Each structure stands twice: as structure tokens, then as C-alpha cells.
Amino acid sequence: MQKTGQPTINDVARIAGVSKKTVSRVINHSPLLNEETRKRVEEVIADLGYIPNPQARALALRRNFLIGLVHDNPNAQTVMNVQQGMLEALHGTEFEMVVRPVDRGAATMLDDLRHFLERQRLFGVLLMPPVSENDMVAKLCDDIGCRYVRMGSAQLDDAAHMVASNDREAVRIAVEYLVEQGHERIGLVAGPHGFRSARERRLGFEDALGAAGIALPRSLIADGNYTFESGLIAAERLLDLVPRPTAIFSSNDEMAAGVIHAARQRGLEIPRDLSIIGFDDTPIAAHVWPPLTTVRWPIASMARSAALKLIAGAEEEEVGVEEPSLFLSTLIRRGSVAAPGR
């Protein structure tokens, strides 16, 4: 009697002459198993090409083999980098990635997320900034019993639940580089309120100027919201100042591209008339003209590490090395910075 479709655990059990339960034990690497039995069952499994049915496992275990990516990040490139890092970590495992955008503004965001998590019974979720900075969300995951790892620009949680970068320090180093080049009048295009990354980067900016003893008038800080257009508008305001700033640090690359645009529109040459440093090192940084000096934010590596944290212990082979929780951003020097007035 030839069965149709894929082999089930019953087929394996029957052919190997053992019970379902024993096969289940083999699959789950139960330690209390005779070596010989295991061998025999494994052979049958290999022969049949048997693969446990994920749906049945999900039902029995009350837990899916899905990792969720929860995000409300407006930057497509950043989201893609995170996905890439996650997928790299998940590759070859039994886990799949499901993407769940949430609406930061919506009042029902937490409820929606709760419904999603309760329904889907995900194995775990990776929280991307800025939603990852919301402690209510982390608490929600805890309440529901869903594993989670948060990504962000500062340490907000213990190492088991957090993968962070050191934005503040990285920006400090970047702005110190501007100071070393001789810049004293440096503008900041800040990120949106409510983003921790925006705050950290701004603090790093202030750190650098403070350490150099350079005063920072409020007028040299312009608000942006991480979009190209907001960078352009912010730069227009900064470039209208008299005297004009000789350098601008933009809290992300996309706004930096807007700054370049604004500068070019008024005939300024970069870096002769204006030095610019961005943040993220997205492809746009290398593709604008001149190539943008920027801070490389290792977001893909962070995502990979976060995903590995999430699934650590679930896989056959233990993750030998403890995944790092703090990632260092580095300054990438390209062509958008020079000494002022030259």
C-alpha cells in the first residue's frame, strides 16, 4: 500500500519497528536513547527523506518555528540590512522569517501586536528600532511568553535581550575628526524626537564639541526626521546662518544626501565649502557625489547576532560562542570632509 505525499512519523516508526514516540525522541535528540535504536531510526529517516511536519510540531509544542521581525523603521535600506542579517542567521535552520510592520502612531499598536503574537505563537521576535525602544513592547513579549531581542543604539536591556551599538561614542569620534580638521562651526541635523538613536547621536555630537571647548548655539541644531527631504530643509536653514557653518554632521545618510542637495543648490562645493559626515553607511553614502564620509553602523551584523541569540539553544549544535551584545560603529572616510576654507 503506497502512501501518497510525504512520509510521516508513523511511516518511520512502522518501518523501523519502533513506536512514534521513539522516532520523536530521535528527532529531538533525547539523551535517553539506545545508540543502536537511534542509528536504526536515523537510517530509516534518511532513507525515506523524512522531515517532521512543522505544522504538527507547532500545534503540539504550542510554538511556531517562525521568527518575527517587528519594525516601524522608515528606512528601507536599514530594514533590508536587518533582514539580511536575520536570514543569514536563520539559514540552514528550521526557522523562517515573518515580517511584521507595526504602526508607531496607532493607538492600537500594542493591542495589534499582542493579537499577532498570541495568534501566531512565534518562537521569538526581533525588535527593530524605534519600536524596540518601547519598554511596553518588551513587557508585552514577556507577559505573553514570547522570546525577544531588541536592537538599538544604546543598551536598554540585559545582554540576553539586547543587541546595541555605541552610537554616542561613534558620533563623538566622527565629530572630533571634524574638529581635528579645523572646523569650529559645525551644524547638526538631528534625528526625530522619540528615536533613541537620534538622542544618542546628538549626545555624541555634544560630547565632541564639549570636549573641544566649542560652544554650541541652539541655532546650529536643526531637526530632521531621517528622510532626504527633512535633511534638505534642515540644511537650508543651517546654510542660511551667518556665518555659515563649515561642516555639518547629519544623523543619518539619507538626510546627509539632502544636505548635499541643499549645498549644491546654492552652488557650494563639497568638501571645499562644506564638509559633511553622515551615519549608517547605507549604499547611498558611497553613491552620492562626492562619496560621503560616514559612520558605518553594523546593523546587519547586529541583526544576525540578535537572531542567533533568539534561537540559541534551540538548535542541535549549541551556539558555542556567546553572541556579542555591543557592536562598534566605525568612521568611514570618503570624500566629503576637508579642512575648512580650502
| Binding residues for DNA (CB under 7 A) | 5-6, 8-10, 13, 17-25, 27-28, 31-34, 36-38, 50, 52-53, 55-57, 59-62
Residue 290 C-beta: closest distance to a second copy, Å: 8
Rounded to the nearest 5 degrees, what angle is found at the Cα of 210, between the Cα atoms of 246 and 238? 30
Residue 111 C-beta: closest distance to DNA, Å: 19
Give the number of residues in contact with a second copy, rule: CB under 8 A. 42
Alpha-carbon distance 250 to 186, whole Å?
10
Residue 312 C-beta: closest distance to a second copy, Å: 21
Alpha-carbon distance 217 to 5, whole Å?
72
283 binds a second copy (CB under 8 A): yes
Q: Which of 78, 211, 209 is nearest to 153 (CA)?
A: 78
The interface mask with a second copy, positions 140-179, x = CB under 8 A, is ----------------------------------------
Residue 124 C-beta: closest distance to DNA, Å: 17
Helix (H, G, I), strand (E, B) or coil at 263: helix
The interface mask with a second copy, positions 48-67, x = CB under 8 A, is ---x-xxxx-xx--x-x-x-
Alpha-carbon distance 318 to 306, whole Å?
15
Among 121, 237, 296, 334, binds a second copy (CB under 8 A): 121
Is the peptide bond preceding residue 271 cis, with omega within 30 degrees of 0?
Answer: yes
Helix (H, G, I), strand (E, B) or coil at 282: coil
- Looking only at the bridges linking them, the beta strands covering 293-296 and 330-332 are antiparallel
Alpha helices in the chain (DSSP H): 9-16, 20-27, 35-48, 54-61, 76-90, 109-120, 135-144, 167-180, 196-212, 228-240, 253-265, 283-287, 299-311
Binds 287, which of a second copy, DNA, none (CB < 5 to 8 A, cut-off by type)?
a second copy
Task: Give whichever of 60 and 242 is closer to DNA, judged by the CB atom.
Answer: 60
Give residues in contact with a second copy (CB under 8 A). Answer: 6, 51, 53-56, 58-59, 62, 64, 66, 76-77, 79-81, 83, 87, 96-101, 115, 118-121, 228, 254, 257-258, 260-261, 264, 283-284, 286-289
